Amino acid sequence: MTGHKRLGMWLFVMSDVLTFATLLIVYMALRLGNPDWPRPFTLSPAILFATGMTIVLLASSLTMVWAVAAMEAGDRRGAVRWLVATMAGGLGFIGLHLTEWRHLLETVSPGTIFGSVFFGITGLHMAHVAAGVIYLGVLAVGVGRGKFAAEDVETGGLYWHFVDVVWMFVFPLIYLMAVKP
Amino acid sequence: MKPVVVWAGLVALTLVEVALAWVHTAPVLMLGLLILLSVGKAAMIAWWFMHLRSFRPRLLVWLFPMLLLCIGLLFVLVRDGGR
């Protein structure tokens, strides 16, 4: 039977979509229900920085597509190279995110409603990215040793793209809805 | 469509979102526009990068309406919780 790994990952992705959907819907209800919602982000440098993080994450999705394509073409060495590039993108995203958190912690307390929502949602997303980097590392080592098939890399790709999809909602809803007027 | 073209489209839509934040519209309108753009970007990633287009139609018909129903129910529950 082929495709069962992909189906399993799709089912996991859908269950995790509901986790993030719950958090984001609660956030939207809080945001719209509070006219005095904090807006700590300035367009420069905060939003430009977060836009850079978004572009890095999107670029890592592109390298993941190339890793899957290389594996399907039987190019294991190319697949490992693109998987490592994807991991580098993920690590770059985490590094930028932690830098941003360090600056934000000077002005936003995690104990406030905004702080708990912001650090809770972005922290959960960052944990997913970190788990994805480890997952891709295991895949890269396995592919390099001739262990995994193309479907395994594609399944890893599904997870990585899902992490990207989540950020497509987190960035506009959390950051752009809290831009300083 | 080539992956680079899809990626460029995603970056362009991200820049449109940032431009919207620059304009400062009413929160409800802004939220609606941002959700619309985000759904579009998520659909692009799912369709081209996650190969949803090669998904078996029967699975698509079963899984996605269920997911949308669950998300719809979340909206109802959150509104109910606010009372």
Query: In this model, does residue A50 exceed pLDDT 80?
Result: yes
A114-134 pLDDT, tens digit per residue, is 999 999 999 999 999 999 999
The A residues from 128 to 147 touching B (CB cutoff 8 Å) are: none
pTM: 0.92
Peptide bond just before A45 cis, omega within 30 deg: yes
Q: Is A51 on the interface with B (CB under 8 A)?
A: yes
**What is the pLDDT at residue A169?**
96
Instruction: Categorize the per-residue pLDDT at A2 as very low, low, confident or very high, splitting at 50, 70 and 90.
Output: low
**What is the pLDDT at residue A90?**
98
User: By percentage, how much of chain A surpasses pLDDT 90?
Assistant: 75
Q: Which residue has the tokens 């995203």?
A: A93
CB contact under 8 A, A32 and B27: yes
Instruction: Categorize the per-residue pLDDT at A160 as very low, low, confident or very high, splitting at 50, 70 and 90.
Output: very high
- Tell me how many domains chain A contains: 1
A3-42 pLDDT, tens digit per residue, is 789 889 988 999 999 999 999 999 988 888 888 888 889 9
A107-119 pLDDT, tens digit per residue, is 888 889 999 999 9
Q: Which residue has the tokens 């420069």?
A: A44
SS3 of chain A: CCCHHHHHHHHHHHHHHHHHHHHHHHHHHHHHHCCCCCCCECHHHHHHHHHHHHHHHHHHHHHHHHHHHHHHCCCHHHHHHHHHHHHHHHHHHHHHHHHHHHHHCCCCCCCCHHHHHHHHHHHHHHHHHHHHHHHHHHHHHHHHCCCCCHHHHHHHHHHHHHHHHHHHHHHHHHHHHHECC
Query: In this model, does residue A163 exceed pLDDT 60?
Result: yes
Give the mean model confidence (pLDDT) for residues A71-95. Answer: 97
CB contact under 8 A, A172 and B70: no
Query: In this model, does residue A1 exceed pLDDT 50?
Result: no
Q: Which CATH number goes with the domain that contains A128?
A: 1.20.120.80
The Cα–Cα gap between B33 and B24 comes to 12
Nearest chain A alpha carbon to B76: A25
Using alpha carbons, list the distances in angstroms from residue B12 to B3, B45, B46.
14, 14, 17
User: By percentage, how much of chain B surpasses pLDDT 70?
Assistant: 96
The amino acid sitting at A94 is I
Q: Tell me if ipTM is over 0.85.
A: yes
B33-68 pLDDT, tens digit per residue, is 999 999 999 999 999 999 887 777 777 787 788 888
